[in-house]
Amino acid sequence: MSTTLPPFKCGLVALIGPPNAGKSTFLNKCLGRKVAIVSPLPQTTRNRITGILSEKDAQVIFVDTPGIHKPRGKMNRAMVHSAWQSLESADVVGIIIDADLYARHPDFFANDTASLHGATTDATRPVFIIANKVDLLGDKSRLLPLLEAADSTWPGAEIFPVSSASGEGLPQLLAAIKNALPESPPLFPEDMLSTLPLRFMAAEIIREKLFLFLRQELPYSTAVDIEAWEEDAKSGHVTIHAVIYVAKSTHKAMVIGHAGRNIKQVGQSARKEIMELLGRKAHLQLWVKIKENWADDHAFLHSLEPATGMPGW
Ligand SMILES: Nc1nc2c(ncn2[C@@H]2O[C@H](COP(=O)(O)OP(=O)(O)OP(=O)(O)O)[C@@H](O)[C@H]2O)c(=O)[nH]1
Ligand SMILES: [Mg+2]
């Protein structure tokens, strides 16, 4: 007796939502590896970040995006634009919201999600509402008003309460996502974690450490560019020269810190993680340069855009 295997599924899942909802944390947890940087501050993610989950029966190509908000300034407008762009090629849409936030402040929900209604107007595309951070809710019945609000905002969408911190609810959601994907052979090799270049991922790791070690507002006025990437043919060691751009000389002093303390912390912690990513020894040289108004410089912003490695992007 012959048994036929279910058809292989493969497709793109766009992860969109308000800033700080946990989109990048969700992606990392689904993959079991870190591809997207995370911070407690909103507007951490600035580009579309792909993460590929390859399993026996399916390949899920997640696209993490910058949080959707009312943008001010060129960079923020470009961030929100790139989040919307991810929808164009998506087979499935995952709208991630912070369930704990809206359980505490139900009045924030309508305003935060107003611009996300458009994401579900294409009735042919499955939409999943991912109510994240449920680990923070002591009493799960506190979810009920949010579930009702989400149901009337996105009628017909399935709602999944999950925790990207503990993993609660993720297996059920992943099964539903896989089921909703089109039949297709895998688009990428099964050992490929992301389509993003390693140089970009290294720059992102440095940016994450700036969020971690610098004072609240400062990371927003920094950008990171990898100027040189040298590999020693004999030892395999990598030397990375990275520039941290700041908008003002006072910011430069703050990034460097007293006796170079901040930049040292950023460098040590980034280097450790870059070595884990590359699986080999790396040296990291960090420079801080002033570039006034870089966040409004279209050509400069464009130069920081990674080559996504995705056809049609
Ligand atoms: N307790 C808890 N915290 C979470 C969970 N998911 C994310 N967080 C935290 O929420 C904060 C924001 O997470 P991110 O993954 O950076 O959020 P994001 O939606 O990608 O944010 P932007 O890129 O800024 O739009 C971080 O401090 C995370 O650790 C969760 O399920 N539970
Ligand atoms: Mg993010």
Q: For 198-304, CATH number?
A: 3.30.300.20
Q: How confident is the model at residue 2 (pLDDT cuts 50, 70, 90)?
A: low
Number of the ligand 1 atom closest to the C-alpha atom of 37: 16
192-251 tens-digit pLDDT: 999 999 999 999 999 999 999 997 788 899 999 999 999 999 999 999 999 999 999 999
Would you state the structure tokens that stand for residue 29, as one six-digit string?
């947890």
pLDDT of residue 312: 64
Q: Report the Cα 252 to chain-centroid distance in Å.
A: 27
Closest CA to 26 of 62, 79, 68, 80: 62
Q: What residue segments make up the domains of the chain, in order of their start?
A: 9-180, 198-304
List pLDDT tens digits, range 105-128: 999 999 999 989 877 766 678 999
Helices (H), 167-260: 170-180, 198-213, 249-256
Give 22-73 pLDDT, tens digit per residue: 999 999 999 999 999 999 999 999 999 999 999 999 999 999 999 998 888 8
pLDDT of residue 123: 66
Contact 302, 44 (CB under 8 A): no
> Is the CB–ligand 1 distance for residue 28 below 6 Å?
no
DSSP code, position 105: -
Strands (E), the chain: 9-16, 49-54, 58-64, 92-98, 127-132, 158-161, 222-231, 238-246, 282-290
Ligand 1 lined by 159 (C-beta under 6 Å):
no
Among protein residues, the one whose CA lies closest to atom 8 of ligand 1: 22
For a substitution probing ligand 1, which of 100, 164, 204 has the most ligand atoms within 8 Å of its CB?
164
| Spatial contact of 178 and 60, defined as CB atoms under 8 Å apart | yes
Distance CA 285, CA 185 (A): 42
**pLDDT at 273 exceeding the cut of 80:** yes
Tens-digit pLDDT profile for residues 75-91: 999 999 989 888 888 99
- Does residue 135's CB lie within 6 angstroms of at least one atom of ligand 1? yes
Residue 288 has pLDDT above 90, yes or no: yes
> Ligand 2 being an ion, which residues bring their Cβ within 5 A of it?
23-24, 44-45
**Topology of the domain covering 9-180:** Rossmann fold (3.40.50)
